[in-house]
Amino acid sequence: MGSKGVSRRQFLKYAGATAALLGLSEAMIPEIARALEGMTAGKPPVIWIQGQNCTACSVSFLNTNYPMVGELVLDKLSVRYQPNVMAASGDVATKVIEDTAKEMKGKYVLVVEGPIPTKENGRYCTFGLKDTMVPFFNGYQRREDKPISAWMDELVPDAAAVIANGNCASFGGIPAANDDVTGTTRVLDYVAKNDKSKVINIGGCPSHPDWFIGTVLDYLFYQKVPELDQYNRPKAFFGQLIHENCERRASFDAGLFLEDWNDNNPDLKLCMFKMGCKGPVTYADCPTRRWNSKVNWCVGANAPCHGCAEPAFYKNLSPLYEPLPDVHFAGISPLPDTLGWVAAGATAVGIGGHYLYKQLGKKAEDGEE
Amino acid sequence: MAQLISIDPVTRIEGHLRMDVEIDGGVVKDAWSSGTMFRGIEMLLKGKHPWDAQQVTERICGVCPLVHGTASSYALDDALGVDLPDNARIIRNLCLGANFIQSHVLHFYHLSALDYVDVTAVLKYSGNDPVLQELKGKIAGLVAAKDPYPLLPRYESGDYVSDPDLATTLVAHYIQALEMRKKAHEMITIFYGRMPSFVGTIPGGVTTMPTVSNVAAFRSRLAELRDWINRIYIQDILTVAGVAAYAPFLTVGDTGGNFLAYGGFDQDSKGSEKFLPRGVITNGDIMNVQQFDETQITESVAYSWYDDSTDGLNPKNGKTEPAVEKSNGYSFLKAPRYDGQPMEVGPLARMLVKKPQMLVDLATKLNLLSNPPFKFGILPRHAARAIECKLIADEMDSWLNQLDLSGKIWDKKGLPDDSYGRGLVEGPRGALGHWIHIVDKKIENYQAVVPTTWNASPRDKDGVRGPIETSLIGVPVPDPDNPINVVRAIRSFDPCLACAIHVIHPEHNGVKEFRVV
């Protein structure tokens, strides 16, 4: 028997699922099982706070299969604060954060869903209450709202790792389109003044449960932040271009494009490029990982990839249903690194998919249109 | 002596909600509902390609993306003059129905149940069911390790369900429900690609045609869910509603008898017949369902942080001009009103308009229909949600039969130069409207009036409270440190704050001060 009534067989199955999630060899299963068993003695505390979020990344987390969410939340992690699932409300809830930060200094994992607004002293997103009093109705005074920026100031320095869960925590996403008003700030920028290297960005709008949970398990297994790309994303999940692994790549190469949704005979597997697919500039493993228990994925539903895992999403990938900007089909080469996009109206200048990707990413970095 | 308590965060809802309640003599005397986060979804749509709207607006909320994307598609259809193919209408209904199942199951078990079930009672379970014994072992381990998060801590209360067999069964159903709601998401994914943030609706239709294979995949999951809803969810609701200590909650939490339903699940291409009917009820007169008139919707901003000059506008021409320095403002939510009155929206409103036999029978049995004006509190709201879940799930099977495997799924229409469109639908949390104005093939104006904006609205220009504020008055709070009944009442509405606060006008220069006065 493993700990807490979990059978050895269940435990090895769990370790196997972990290995698969992390892309590790089956030969590693016994080692993973030992590591996971060791962890149960002191489960890593997790504080999961929400900024300008929409909760899709929390809902997506609930869609995990291996490990099941119940196992994960009760057996593997100590989920101290997660506003959508925790029993406590009000002061009882926020006291848990305060106690954890004090008692588990340097040991807790901080998960941030949604970006951090900074204008007006952070008042565009608050939860919990400070001790200072402000006037209220009927002659009452009430305790002042506490901005998420204040929570970040308190919690980031002593966090073992900070996981920005989802596109908008990682890259600004949809709220960043109004950053001039609320001062929307990516977690990485907010943390930069402390320690940039402990921030892990999980893209996706929403994040795939495997991306998030795989990253958490990887961190628990190796006790360090996984290998990250230039955007602080784990390479394990965001290392490959969707276009390169797409099940409809053959249609792209053959020039068979979907142009009318009434022609979408599933056997044809027509390419979605002309309907605005951003797969050629999006790095994520959606084509092989798929979504919701592997039932489907965006292109599988005859819809274009909207590029939601990319730093450029949403602002710099709009319009979503128009073909990628300034490119047409003359001179297309099927070679992955020399996707011969030709700038429209210009002389034949080939722009590699990776180059275009970098440009779009850079625009998002610069926060420009 | 009267005192003010502030509950922030109200958890196990979507979003950032603070509730201030004045307590006098052990009951709530007054309440103020405040949303405390905003982003600005509608405004960033201005100037964008109209087709982007449903992808952006479904990200108003990750709990209700399906209903926003659907409302947006209907608004676009309207603006473009689409003649929606039957297949597209039915697939939209099927996916919306699956989302109702997902949302209602999630709400009762994962968002609400911990308000009623004592998880520590599982430790006293002495039965022989191996699954429940394993559950007991698991929770015993958590408690022994002094690491019972996130199940504890909680507001303490003497009236949690503490019978070991019953509590253990309910906690086991909580865990089963995690799988059930996931299957409901998979159903949507079959046609729409993924959830949350799906891609399967487009202006003019849907992207996936029905096939023998995807219809079968949908139907098999539906059968499993229908069985579970009938055997487990409905039974658990009846069990909790029958707990003697909760008898007051049959009527405590009533909002005053005004209910609004836009109606949903069009049964013909014109939407003239809907599975959930459209209608308005006022002053608790549930036998007199009135005709709905869209022009009667206005939004008051008297107590909201928006400029007073925008008070009373219909959303078709709605404006959003922040004025956060307003001394009497206390919420980012506007106050939608119908014919000047606050309206409760959601499953209770829809079921009172539709009056299915199952609801009438239950309400009669619970003695809710004996003395007018009728009052419907916390528990009827939960029961209406469960009954609705069952009705929709049972009906969906026949919708699958109506799909035409060789029929169209898309009506291609170009973008207009100047056109209005609106989509009125029902989401799990209530009546949802999207309004779009397209000029020169671009979005000129986009407005959404969302269920939680109706339910969690602040006071209006006449000082009349919003429905949740009203529902809290009279709620017993014997211990101000543990206001469990306040959060029970709030959660019965299934609030979604990200939905409710989705507006900002960045061109306005007045967003400089933010005071709570």
| Residue B211 in contact with partner chain A when CB distance is under 8 A | yes
* Same-domain pairing of A302 and A153: no
Shortest CA distance from A304: residue in chain B = B199
Regions of chain A where pLDDT drops below 50: 1-6, 327-369
Q: Would you state the structure tokens that stand for residue A269, as one six-digit string?
A: 């597997």
Give the domain ranges of chain B: 83-253+377-412
Q: Chain B partners of A142 at a C-beta cutoff of 8 Å?
A: 4, 6, 20, 516
Residue A352 has a pLDDT of 36
| Residue B420 in contact with partner chain A when CB distance is under 8 A | no
Residue A19, amino acid = A
**What ipTM was predicted for this assembly?**
0.93
Which entry of A125, A208, A271, A306 is annotated as an active-site residue? A271
pLDDT tens track, chain B, 517 positions: 899 999 999 999 998 999 999 999 999 999 999 988 877 777 788 899 999 999 999 999 899 899 999 999 999 999 999 999 999 999 999 999 999 999 999 999 999 999 999 999 999 999 999 999 999 998 998 888 889 999 999 999 999 999 999 999 999 999 999 999 999 999 999 999 999 999 999 999 999 999 999 999 999 999 999 999 999 999 999 999 999 999 999 999 999 999 999 999 999 988 899 999 999 999 999 999 999 999 999 999 999 888 888 888 887 777 766 666 778 888 888 899 999 999 999 999 999 999 999 999 999 999 999 988 899 999 999 999 999 999 999 999 999 999 999 999 999 999 999 999 999 999 999 999 999 999 999 999 998 889 999 999 999 999 999 999 999 999 999 999 999 999 999 999 999 987 776 543 333 322 322 222 2
Residue A36 lies in a domain: no
Q: Chain B partners of A308 at a C-beta cutoff of 8 Å?
A: 197
Number of domains chain A contains:
2
Residue A22 lies in a domain: no
Q: Chain A partners of B511 at a C-beta cutoff of 8 Å?
A: 120, 181
* Same-domain pairing of A93 and A230: yes
| Residue A112 to residue A187: CA distance in whole angstroms | 8
Q: Is B196 within 8 Å of A265 when comparing Cβ atoms? A: no
* Same-domain pairing of A165 and A287: no
| Residue B319 to residue B311: CA distance in whole angstroms | 9
Residue labelled with tokens 């951090």: A116
pLDDT tens-place string over residues B485-509: 999 999 999 999 877 765 433 333 2
| Residue B336 to residue B304: CA distance in whole angstroms | 11
Shortest CA distance from B102: residue in chain A = A59
Q: Chain A partners of B181 at a C-beta cutoff of 8 Å?
A: 62
Q: Is B61 within 8 Å of A55 when comparing Cβ atoms? A: yes
* Same-domain pairing of A304 and A275: yes
| Residue A228 in contact with partner chain B when CB distance is under 8 A | no
pLDDT tens-place string over residues A85-106: 999 999 999 999 999 999 999 9
**How far is residue B319 from each of residues B93, B307, B312, B327, B449, measured CA to CA in Å?**
31, 9, 10, 20, 12
Q: Is A84 within 8 Å of B504 when comparing Cβ atoms? A: no
| Residue A361 in contact with partner chain B when CB distance is under 8 A | no
CATH number at A279 reads 4.10.480.10
Residue B513 has a pLDDT of 27
Which entry of A125, A208, A286, A306 is annotated as an active-site residue? A286
Q: Is B207 within 8 Å of A96 when comparing Cβ atoms? A: no
* Same-domain pairing of A233 and A248: no
Residue A324 lies in a domain: yes
Residue B371 has a pLDDT of 85
* Same-domain pairing of A185 and A53: yes
| Residue A300 in contact with partner chain B when CB distance is under 8 A | yes
CATH number at A85 reads 3.40.50.700
How many CB atoms neighbour CB A224 within 10 A? 11
| Residue A168 to residue A113: CA distance in whole angstroms | 8
| Residue A126 to residue A174: CA distance in whole angstroms | 19
Q: Is A5 within 8 Å of B192 when comparing Cβ atoms? A: no
From A75, A142, A292, residue closest to B186, measured CB to CB? A292
Q: Chain A partners of B178 at a C-beta cutoff of 8 Å?
A: 62, 68-70
| Residue A296 to residue B190: CA distance in whole angstroms | 6
Residue A13 lies in a domain: no
Task: Encode B75-93: b = buried (16+ Cβ within 10 Å), e = exposed.
Answer: bbbbbbebebbbbbbbbbb
| Residue B63 in contact with partner chain A when CB distance is under 8 A | yes
Q: Is A63 within 8 Å of B185 when comparing Cβ atoms? A: yes
* Same-domain pairing of A268 and A218: no
Q: Is A302 within 8 Å of B516 when comparing Cβ atoms? A: no
Domain that includes residue A250, residue range: 242-366
pTM of the prediction? 0.91
- For residue A326, the distance in angstroms to the closest alpha carbon of chain B comes to 17
CB pairs A-B closer than 8 Å:
302
Positions of E strands within chain A: 45-50, 78-81, 109-113, 116-117, 126-135, 141-147, 161-165, 184-185, 199-202, 327-328, 341-343, 350-351
Q: What is the CATH number of domain B83-253+377-412?
A: 1.10.645.10
* Same-domain pairing of A215 and A262: no
B515 class by beta-carbon count within 10 Å (0-12 exposed, 13-18 middle, 19+ buried)? middle
* Same-domain pairing of A191 and A208: yes
From A60, A87, A145, residue closest to B18, measured CB to CB? A145
